[in-house]
Amino acid sequence: MLTSYTGSNVIAVNATALDKSGALTILKQFIKHASLDHRYHYFCFIPKGLNLQKSNNVSFVEVSKLGWFKRILWDSYFFEKQLKTHGVNPVKIISLQNTSINSDKEQIIYLHQPLPFSSVRWSFLKKEQFKLFLYKHFYKFFILLYVRNNTVFVVQTNWMKSALCSTSNINENRVHVIKPDIELPNVVPDDNPKKTASIHHTLLYPATPLFYKNHQIILDSLKIIKARNEISNIKFQVTFKPEEYKSFSESVNQYGLNDNVDYLGTIPYGELIQKYQSASMVLFPSYVETFGLPLAEGATLRKPVLCSDFPFSRDVLNGYPGATYLDYKDPLAWADAITNTLNKIKCDSLHNGDFTFKPSSSWKDFFKLI
């Protein structure tokens, strides 16, 4: 048994599902800031196999990956049982993975799953949409299952706060908007986007190979551009390998776009920033997000940003003149926007102006809630 953690300075953290992508970023940022908060000892349940920053006031217990059913059991019973097994009696519980915990302790729930609150509809009859259908129609039940009057929510955007309050019996005073940290390396935005695209015009889309990330709409738009004979010097850069997204690579082959798609795979963040800097534009056709970090990253580096027209994108890019908002289902609109933006770059008529992402709140505000 581990050292007993009891008293008014112990906080238990539920983070067993935060093992990749944006969820892992949230966990790493949380751990970084928790290590600086010496008011409390943070006792964290995390996924196995992560190499996280260690500190004197942060303890880790690794938990094997949990499927849906086991996650329900974990939130309902085993989380509290594990606390007792490890001699932990926390003053509060923080759930970093959307769902509430069966406990009478005060809870802070970090809600970053947008699917139950999205206006997009899914069909349970389509294989690629079945899981999304379940998330939209059933996941919200588990988010709210053990919510009590002393439960506080943290969301990343104003639209998520509005969606949560309007679709559930949660008072807006119990929902706090705290935007994620954006920690770009020490880079100087390129004032001449034309200079960075001397050989190819690169269209960068840093996103995981998921259906709702909507990579297909870009392929459909490139097919249109190809029919116009304007495709020869365009490279669409994606952050995965062909075998990781078979339907995507099949469309690339079918459309004859093999020379126009650059599979970067998963790359270190510093290298990704270099890709941002050399890109002609940043694309973000995803239609289900809480925040959409590439939106803020692209704008901070003064890149033209073409994105789906949803509340999350307008929330993040509010005030940025280099943003273009498009119908996520209209490949012709995307094709026209891509070619128009490239033409402006060619003739030096693209001036996006300065944009610094200045979050109205940060992790410091999160820890003030504790």
Residues 294, 284 contacting (CB under 8 angstroms) = yes
Q: Which of 50, 107, 55 is nearest to 80 (CA)?
A: 107
* Residues facing residue 10 across a β-bridge: 41
361 pLDDT band (50/70/90 cuts)? Answer: low
Structure tokens at 282: 């940043």
Q: How far apart are CA 235 and CA 283, in angstroms?
A: 12
pLDDT at residue 165, rounded to an integer = 92
Question: If you average pLDDT over residues 198-224, what whole number do you get?
Answer: 91
Q: Which residue in this structure is represented by tokens 């551009």?
A: 225
207 pLDDT band (50/70/90 cuts)? Answer: very high
Q: How far apart are CA 290 and CA 219, in angstroms?
A: 24
The answer, yes or no, to whether residue 237 has pLDDT greater than 50, is yes
53 pLDDT band (50/70/90 cuts)? Answer: confident
pLDDT averaged over every residue in the chain: 87
The answer, yes or no, to whether residue 201 has pLDDT greater than 50, is yes
Question: Could you tell me whether strands 10-14 and 175-177 are parallel, antiparallel, or unpaired per DSSP bridges?
Answer: unpaired
pLDDT at residue 137, rounded to an integer = 82
The answer, yes or no, to whether residue 299 has pLDDT greater than 60, is yes
* Residues facing residue 324 across a β-bridge: 306
The answer, yes or no, to whether residue 98 has pLDDT greater than 90, is yes
- Give the global pTM: 0.80
CB atoms within 10 A of CB 6: 11
The answer, yes or no, to whether residue 350 has pLDDT greater than 80, is no
Domains plus CATH for the chain?
Answer: 5-177 (3.40.50.2000), 195-346 (3.40.50.2000)
3-state secondary structure of 203: strand
Q: How far apart are CA 312 and CA 318, in angstroms?
A: 10
The answer, yes or no, to whether residue 23 has pLDDT greater than 90, is no
* Residues facing residue 13 across a β-bridge: 44, 94
Q: How far apart are CA 152 and CA 166, in angstroms?
A: 16
**DSSP class per residue in 258-300:** GGGEEE--S--HHHHHHHHHH-SEEEE-----SS-HHHHHHHH
Q: Per residue in 60-96, pLDDT tens?
A: 999 988 888 888 999 999 999 999 999 999 999 999 9
355 pLDDT band (50/70/90 cuts)? Answer: low
3-state secondary structure of 303: coil
pLDDT at residue 189, rounded to an integer = 54
Residues 65, 47 contacting (CB under 8 angstroms) = yes
pLDDT at residue 196, rounded to an integer = 47
Q: Per residue in 147-196, pLDDT tens?
A: 999 899 999 889 999 999 998 889 999 999 988 777 766 665 555 544 54
E-strand stretches of 289-366: 305-308, 323-326
Buried b (16+ CB within 10 A) or exposed e, 292-329: bbbbbbbbbbbbbbbbbebbbbbbbbeebebbbbbebe
pLDDT at residue 232, rounded to an integer = 84
357 pLDDT band (50/70/90 cuts)? Answer: low
Structure tokens at 156: 């990343």
Question: If you average pLDDT over residues 325-330, what whole number do you get?
Answer: 97
pLDDT > 90: percent of the chain? 56
pLDDT at residue 1, rounded to an integer = 38
Structure letter (DSSP) for residue 195: G
Q: How far apart are CA 316 and CA 295, in angstroms?
A: 7
Q: How far apart are CA 290 and CA 155, in angstroms?
A: 8
